[in-house]
């Protein structure tokens, strides 16, 4: 697992170094759609991450956001989100990152989230806890729910479906009535990192995109967050009281 973690961190750092250089350029090449945006930087970051992972583990399966699936029947499978927060990246908003997860027989055993602009790295290993820049990561905020900042994540499937989009608005309204601030960042992997280090109080994800959810959910669990899942609604909080309050409001 240590070797897997080193490869995942190296992959995220390779992608992140490239992303920082591209972010500092005057222009960004991207295709803008009504619901999403795809940047050339997505593909460039993915190539660099995959170069690291496939060189280290050529027999492993990979699912990457841009290039899709390869060798899908192998027991180990890497999940790569090369640029989490593409909308932010293209708008010049300095909040984006890279996420990598490793699945064994379909279950996440390793998750890495990297914030390249701040050089922050989060690592979660199944059953072994989580780290933030090499030290222990603990989702242990004691801020009460009425003073809490709660990150709200809505996956692309929910954005594109009218009924799910309406339900997401209901959930957002319920959150607004129970906490100080509902934070929608468009870079959910980094939101999971803020929870894992205790800087925000909770993350609520509705139909999240699996490409970053694997790493984020494992990071929440291994950092000691109190977690609850009901179908495609995921709730994680830094205290049991906050989790109970959120679940009461949302379900």
Residue 118 CB coordination number (10 Å): 13
* Mean pLDDT confidence for 178-200: 97
**Percent of the chain at pLDDT exceeding 70:** 94
Poorest-pLDDT segment among 18-27, 160-169, 233-242: 18-27
Contact 192, 216 (CB under 8 A): yes
Q: Which domains does the chain have, with CATH numbers?
A: 2-136 (3.30.540.10), 145-250 (3.40.190.80)
**pLDDT exceeds cutoff 90 at 134:** yes
pLDDT greater than 90 at residue 206: yes
Q: Report the distance separating Cα 71 and Cα 60, nearest Å.
A: 7
What is the pLDDT, as a whole number, of residue 38? 66
Give the per-residue pLDDT at 31: 57
Q: What is the reported pLDDT for 1? A: 84
* 32 pLDDT more than 70: no
Name, in order, each residue with C-beta under 8 angstroms of 15's C-beta and a sequence gap of 6 or more: 45, 46, 48, 49, 82, 83, 98, 114, 116
Q: What is the mean pLDDT of residues 45-52?
A: 97
pLDDT tens figures, 59-116:
999 999 888 888 768 899 999 999 999 989 988 999 999 999 999 999 999 999 999 9
CB atoms closer than 10 angstroms to residue 20: 14
Among 25-29, 110-114, 164-168, 183-187, which stretch is predicted with the lowest mean pLDDT? Answer: 25-29
Q: Predicted confidence band at 126 (pLDDT cuts at 50, 70, 90)?
A: very high
Residue 227 — very low, low, confident or very high, per pLDDT cuts 50/70/90?
very high
Average pLDDT over every residue of 4-19: 98
pLDDT at 51 over 70: yes
Q: Quote the pLDDT of residue 56.
A: 97
Q: In this predicted model, which residue has the larger pLDDT, 37 or 137?
A: 137
Q: Can you give the pLDDT at residue 80?
A: 97
pLDDT (mean) for 160-182: 96
């Amino acid at each position: 697992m240590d070797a897997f973690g080193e490869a995942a961190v190296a992959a995220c750092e390779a992608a992140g170094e490239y992303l920082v250089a591209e972010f500092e350029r005057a222009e960004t090449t991207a295709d803008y759609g009504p619901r999403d945006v795809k940047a050339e930087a997505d593909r460039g970051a993915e190539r660099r991450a995959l170069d690291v992972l496939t060189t280290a583990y050529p027999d492993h399966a990979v699912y990457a956001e841009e290039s899709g699936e390869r060798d899908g029947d192998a027991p180990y499978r890497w999940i790569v989100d090369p640029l989490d927060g593409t909308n932010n990246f293209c708008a010049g908003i300095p909040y984006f990152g890279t996420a990598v997860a490793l699945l064994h027989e379909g279950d996440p055993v390793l998750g890495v989230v990297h914030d390249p602009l701040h050089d922050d790295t989060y690592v979660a290993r199944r059953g072994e806890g989580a780290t933030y820049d090499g030290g222990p990561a603990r989702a242990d905020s004691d801020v009460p729910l009425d003073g809490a900042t709660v990150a709200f994540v809505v996956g692309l499937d929910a954005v594109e479906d009218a009924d799910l989009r309406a339900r997401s608005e209901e959930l957002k309204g319920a959150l607004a009535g129970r906490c100080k601030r509902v934070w929608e960042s468009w870079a959910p992997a980094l939101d999971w990192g803020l929870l894992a280090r205790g800087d925000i109080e909770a993350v609520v994800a509705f139909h999240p995109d699996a490409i970053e959810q694997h790493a984020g959910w494992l990071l929440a669990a291994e950092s000691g967050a109190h977690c609850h899942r009901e179908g495609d609604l995921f709730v994680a909080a830094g205290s049991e009281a906050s989790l109970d309050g959120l679940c009461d409001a949302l379900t």
